[in-house]
Amino acid sequence: MLIAVLVSFGVAAVAPWIVRVVGDRSGWLLALLPAGVTAYFLTYLPQVAAGESVLERTAWVPSLGVSLAMRMDGLSLVFALMIAGIGTAIVIYAGGYLRGDRQLPRFYLLLLAFMAAMLGVVLSDNLISLFVFWELTSVTSYFLVGYKHEDETSRKSALQALLVTAGGGLAMLAGFLLLGIVGGTFEISALLSDPDAIRQHDAYLAILVLVGLGALTKSAQWPFHFWLPNAMAAPTPVSAYLHSATMVKAGVYLLARMSPGLGGTPAWFWLLTTAGVLTMIAAASLALLQRDSKRLLAYSTLIALGTLVTLIGVGTPGAIAAMVVFLVGHALYKAPLFMVAGSVDHEAGSRDVTALRGLGRAMPITWATALVAGLSAGGLPPLFGFVAKELAIEGLVTAPWLLAGLIASSAVMVLVVYLVVWKPFVGREVTAPTPPHEAPLSMWIGPAVLALIGALLGIAPWLIGDGLMVPAAAAVLAELHPFQLYLWHGVNLALMLSVLAVLLGGILIWRWRGLHDGLRARTTHVRFGPVAAYDATMAGLVRFAAWQTRVLQSDDLRHHMTIILGFAVVLTGATALLRGDLSVSLRHETGFFYEYIVLVLVAAAALSIIRARTPLVAITALGVAGFGIAVVFVFFAAPDLAITQFLVETLIVIIVALALIRLPLGALRGEAAVGVRLLSGAIAIVGGVLMTLLTLAVTGVPFDATLSAFFEAQSYPAAQGRNIVNVILVDFRAMDTLGEIVVLAVAAAGCYALLRRVVGTGGESPKRDERAAPGRGEGA
């Protein structure tokens, strides 16, 4: 199974070259990949029908418990066949739809990569590798939605889809990690084999919510539904494939997959059914506002997704059976409907259902396809959609309020079908922005075949019943519950409710125009709800980011320095109070009078630099302090140090003086406000006191002189030197000295580079940036 995924990725990677070589007909050639993959997965059918599941293990990152294990059971097979099968139709269709498009090579790369990733999602038996493929579908979706990237709406929609699904994905990852920790493994089959360990764990609710967030965002459940209609900015093949048949069902897949482990609890029931029903209702209401055929279909997809999630939430054998059948039914009619809408857009120039009329004559095959798929979508016999809906109604009879939601949204479904497959096609007079004509073969063959399969399965649902649907439901339920699929159930409650839905749909069709215009007029100024929340979050994020950057990122070095030193002082001081025992015992010191004089002199010099108003005073004070320290070194038997300090101090005074000649007089002016000075002063004083206390505390501890004793003992015998300090510098610790002279060398190079009178041309030739004010200021 992994091989199918990898081969698909491989073909995706070379697809751009294939397209360049083969040209316009490359769609047909590339369709061999999904077709072949479909055939490959069909070979698993006998085993799966026999109730077996096939496990394949491949190591990836064993140290983290991550493998590329793949498992094939009924649920995976249904999804894999849908992904590859519909993929075949889509790849062919896209060849016609995007004929001659400059970006077609990239498009195929992304589309096939998406297919591979999606296969990975439904086959993975490891939570982490599932997540990897999951995120890959989000990324490929991002690029596909943003296909018309030069258009701002496309870019925004792509970003929205990515952020919503990736945000949910991250929550899901947290849930997965938790699940892995609770269950001790990331292998899904192992986790699901012991569901009670998960369900009875304290973290169960957290896991459910986190994993649920991932699934619900991906499957566009309320309140995260809004990204899906906006994703219709993508080219139609993408909408048909990712945003109706496959990717949006990844969330459904995940919930179904996890249902044996996470399902069966009240929390599960309430979370899923609430989300599902709210999605159905919200989508049904919002669909009334639409007249764009793709957006209409998008909202009807939302209704279907809501139905699926609700059914999983209910979780009874009947509901699950309905779920798997509805899943297939929906894929078989929704993908053709999208493609038909795309063909109409392509050949007649519009997706506005009110702007089109009488296309049926010019596009007979397209219309026929639309009708077959549409009747299935409307839940009318003898099509597979009817079978699916009957089952769904039966599955929900135990929960009347869920059933009510389903019936209401089914009615809207009927309206959508009318608007998409009937209204634009009927009539003698042709109304269309461009003269319509039939779509080319590549664009009708795929939808037509899918619609026909839907019709065939409607008449003979048993074809896939025992072989595929029952094992799929068994995978979700974790036990076998055989059921039979019939087109005709006899006159029962389900049928009557079904008729009711169609009647309600008829009323909606009859009153549509008034309802539509009225609702539109009333909702144009709505400023709340999930979309507004998303927009507000994004705007707020940017505003907050700008605000905090402005506050924290002043351009003034002094502010930086104050914050940094303030933090340092507070951190160290607080630690000293909380943890430290800076018990400083004052020791009896035997100092000489002249030593104290020098020390006081140095301190006074340092303090006078603060007070200095002219550079000359400051330099003088600096010199005094420096030479004073040299004298201190003399007092305490450090001749080398004293000489060095003396020489360096002299040089620094000279260099400062040389520099000062070039700085304006009164260069020390520019005092800050009193408050600022007080703050700096406080930080400085606390810092100084801390340093004194630390030095005292440290010197209060008995000194370990092992190192120095070694140097004294070895300096002459082993290193031939009598000046121990020098021996340390050039032998014992010569590496320090080597670094030290490197610092000097670079400092010299730096001064040279700074002072040379050359122009830094930059490696770049003059470009736009330089003509305006360079660099800064563009930031905030």
Partner 1 sequence: MNSIILRTASQLLLTILLLFSLFLMLRGHDLPGGGFIGGLVGAAAVALYAIAFGYRAAQAMLRISPRMLVGVGLLAAVAAGFLALLQGQAFLTGQWWIIGLGEGAELKLSSPLLFDIGVYLVVVGTVLTMVFALEER
Partner 2 sequence: METPLAVLVGVLFASGLYLVMQRNLLRFVFGLLLLSASVNLLIFTAGRVTRGTAPIIPEGLPTPPGDVANALPQALVLTAIVIGFGLIVFAIVLVLRTHERLGTIDTAEMAERLEAPRPVATDLEDEVPA
Partner 3 sequence: MSWLVAAPVVLPLLTAALLFVLQSRSEVQRVLSTTSTAVLVTLSVILLYRVSEGGILVAQFGEWRAPFGISFVADHLSAIMVVVTGVMAVATAVYALRDIDGTREELGYHPLFHVLLAGINGAFLTGDLFNLYVWFEVLLISSFVLLTLGNRREQLEGGIKYVAVNLVSSMIFLGAIGLVYGLTGTLNFADLAVRLPEAPGGLVTVIAMLFLVAFGVKAALFPLFFWLPASYHTPPLAIAALFAGMLTKVGVYALIRVFTLLFVHDVAYTHTILLWISGFTMLIGVLGAAAQSDVRKLLSFHIISQIGYMIMGLALYTPLALLGSIFYIVHNIVAKANLFLIAGIGRRLTGSFDLARMGGLYRGAPFLSVLFLISAFSLAGFPPLSGFWAKLVVVLAGARVEAWPIVAVALLVGLLTLYSMTKVWQAAFWTPLPAGERMQERPSALLYAPAVGLALLTLAMGLWSGPFLALTEAAANELMDPSIYVRAVLGEAAAAAMRGDTP
Where in 576-605 is the site for partner 2 (CB under 8 A)?
A: 586-587, 589-591, 595-596, 599, 602-603
Compute how many other C-beta atoms are within 10 angstroms of the C-beta atom of residue 602.
20
Listing DSSP states for 99-168 in one string gives TT-TTHHHHHHHHHHHHHHHHHHHHB-BHHHHHHHHHHHHHHHHHHHTTSTTSHHHHHHHHHHHHHHHHH
Pairing of strands 59-61, 66-67: antiparallel
Q: How far apart are CA 265 and CA 263, in angstroms?
A: 6
Contact call for residue 648 and partner 3 (CB under 8 A): no
Minimum CB separation of residue 641 from partner 1 in Å reads: 9
Cα distances (Å, whole numbers) of residue 315 to 259, 333, 447: 8, 25, 32
Host H or E run for residue 628: helix 615-635
DSSP lists the bridge partners of residue 81 as none
Query: Residues 6 or more apart from 601 whose CB is under 8 A from it?
Result: 624, 628
720 makes contact, choosing from partner 3, partner 1, partner 2, none, with CB < 5 to 8 Å by partner type, with partner 1
Contact call for residue 644 and partner 1 (CB under 8 A): yes
Tell me which of 752, 761, 775, 779 binds partner 1, using CB under 8 A. Answer: 752
Q: Which is nearer to partner 3, 26 or 67 (CB)?
A: 67
Q: Which is nearer to partner 3, 493 or 734 (CB)?
A: 734
Tell me which of 398, 609, 627, 665 binds partner 2, using CB under 8 A. Answer: 609
What are the CB-based long-range contacts (under 8 Å, 24+) for 9-13? Answer: 9/112, 9/113, 9/116, 11/112, 12/108, 12/109, 12/110, 12/111, 12/112, 12/113, 12/115, 12/116, 13/109, 13/113
Pairing of strands 70-72, 54-56: antiparallel
Contact call for residue 756 and partner 1 (CB under 8 A): yes
Tell me which of 518, 582, 681, 780 binds partner 2, using CB under 8 A. Answer: 681
Binding to partner 1 in span 523-562, by CB under 8 A: none
545 makes contact, choosing from partner 2, partner 3, partner 1, none, with CB < 5 to 8 Å by partner type, with partner 3
681 makes contact, choosing from partner 1, partner 3, partner 2, none, with CB < 5 to 8 Å by partner type, with partner 2
Question: What ranges in 349-459 are assigned the alpha helix state H?
Answer: 364-377, 384-396, 400-417, 441-459
- Give the number of residues written for the chain: 780
Contact call for residue 541 and partner 3 (CB under 8 A): yes
Tell me which of 669, 674, 675, 768 binds partner 2, using CB under 8 A. Answer: 669
Compute how many other C-beta atoms are within 10 angstroms of the C-beta atom of residue 276.
30
Q: How far apart are CA 386 and CA 67, in angstroms?
A: 41
Binding to partner 3 in span 109-138, by CB under 8 A: 128, 131-132, 135-136
Binding to partner 2 in span 623-642, by CB under 8 A: 625-626, 629, 632-633, 635-641
Contact call for residue 719 and partner 2 (CB under 8 A): no
Tell me which of 14, 39, 564, 604 binds partner 3, using CB under 8 A. Answer: 564
Tell me which of 13, 663, 738, 780 binds partner 1, using CB under 8 A. Answer: 738
Minimum CB separation of residue 756 from partner 1 in Å reads: 8
Tell me the window of 155-163, 187-195, 393-401, 636-644 that interacts with partner 1 (CB under 8 A). 636-644
Tell me which of 401, 751, 769, 774 binds partner 1, using CB under 8 A. Answer: 751
Binding to partner 3 in span 136-195, by CB under 8 A: 136, 139, 142, 146, 149-150, 152, 155, 159, 162-163, 166-167, 170-171, 173-174, 177-178, 180-181
In 3-state terms, what secondary structure has residue 721?
A: coil
Tell me which of 434, 523, 549, 692 binds partner 3, using CB under 8 A. Answer: 549
In 3-state terms, what secondary structure has residue 488?
A: coil
Minimum CB separation of residue 745 from partner 3 in Å reads: 7
Cα distances (Å, whole numbers) of residue 210 to 168, 214, 215, 384, 614: 8, 7, 9, 35, 65
CB 224 within 8 A of CB 168: yes
Q: Which is nearer to partner 1, 546 or 751 (CB)?
A: 751
Q: Which amino acid is at 561?
A: M
Buried b (16+ CB within 10 A) or exposed e, 90-108: bbbbbbbbbbeeeebbbbb
Query: How many amino acids of this chain bind partner 2 (CB under 8 A)?
Result: 111
In 3-state terms, what secondary structure has residue 431?
A: strand
| DSSP assignment letter at 428 | S
Place of tokens 């209910």: 314
Tell me which of 302, 622, 624, 631 binds partner 2, using CB under 8 A. Answer: 622
Contact call for residue 55 and partner 2 (CB under 8 A): no
Q: How far apart are CA 134 and CA 250, in angstroms?
A: 8
Binding to partner 3 in span 59-88, by CB under 8 A: 60-64
Compute how many other C-beta atoms are within 10 angstroms of the C-beta atom of residue 565.
15
Q: How far apart are CA 343 and CA 363, in angstroms?
A: 9
Contact call for residue 564 and partner 1 (CB under 8 A): no
Contact call for residue 738 and partner 3 (CB under 8 A): yes
Tell me which of 52, 56, 466, 731 binds partner 1, using CB under 8 A. Answer: 731
Q: How far is CA 370 from the centre of its chain?
A: 36
Contact call for residue 768 and partner 1 (CB under 8 A): no
Tell me which of 482, 745, 769, 774 binds partner 1, using CB under 8 A. Answer: 745
Tell me which of 604, 695, 716, 723 binds partner 3, using CB under 8 A. Answer: 695
Contact call for residue 517 and partner 2 (CB under 8 A): no
Minimum CB separation of residue 734 from partner 1 in Å reads: 5
In 3-state terms, what secondary structure has residue 352?
A: strand
Listing DSSP states for 276-297 in one string gives HHHHHHHHHHHHTT--BHHHHH
Q: How far apart are CA 155 and CA 163, in angstroms?
A: 12
779 makes contact, choosing from partner 3, partner 2, partner 1, none, with CB < 5 to 8 Å by partner type, with partner 3
Minimum CB separation of residue 659 from partner 2 in Å reads: 5
Tell me the window of 88-96, 314-322, 433-441, 765-773 that interacts with partner 2 (CB under 8 A). 765-773
Query: How many amino acids of this chain bind partner 1 (CB under 8 A)?
Result: 38
Contact call for residue 735 and partner 3 (CB under 8 A): yes
635 makes contact, choosing from partner 2, partner 1, partner 3, none, with CB < 5 to 8 Å by partner type, with partner 2
Minimum CB separation of residue 181 from partner 3 in Å reads: 6
Minimum CB separation of residue 538 from partner 3 in Å reads: 8
Crossing angle for the helix pair 317-348 and 249-262, to the nearest 10 degrees: 170
In 3-state terms, what secondary structure has residue 61?
A: strand
Tell me the window of 205-213, 417-425, 443-451, 657-665 that interacts with partner 1 (CB under 8 A). 657-665
388 makes contact, choosing from partner 3, partner 2, partner 1, none, with CB < 5 to 8 Å by partner type, with none
Place of tokens 């993929």: 87
Asked whether the CA dihedral 27, 30, 35, 37 is positive or negative, the reply is negative
Binding to partner 3 in span 242-281, by CB under 8 A: none
Binding to partner 3 in span 17-56, by CB under 8 A: none
Query: Residues 6 or more apart from 369 whose CB is under 8 A from it?
Result: 336, 340, 444, 447, 448, 451
Contact call for residue 711 and partner 2 (CB under 8 A): yes
Contact call for residue 730 and partner 1 (CB under 8 A): yes
Minimum CB separation of residue 658 from partner 3 in Å reads: 19
| DSSP assignment letter at 67 | E
Tell me the window of 80-88, 113-121, 242-250, 607-615 that interacts with partner 2 (CB under 8 A). 607-615
List contacts with partner 1 (CB under 8 A): 639-640, 643-644, 647-648, 651, 655, 658-659, 662, 719-723, 726-727, 729-731, 734-735, 737-738, 741-742, 744-745, 747-749, 751-752, 754-757
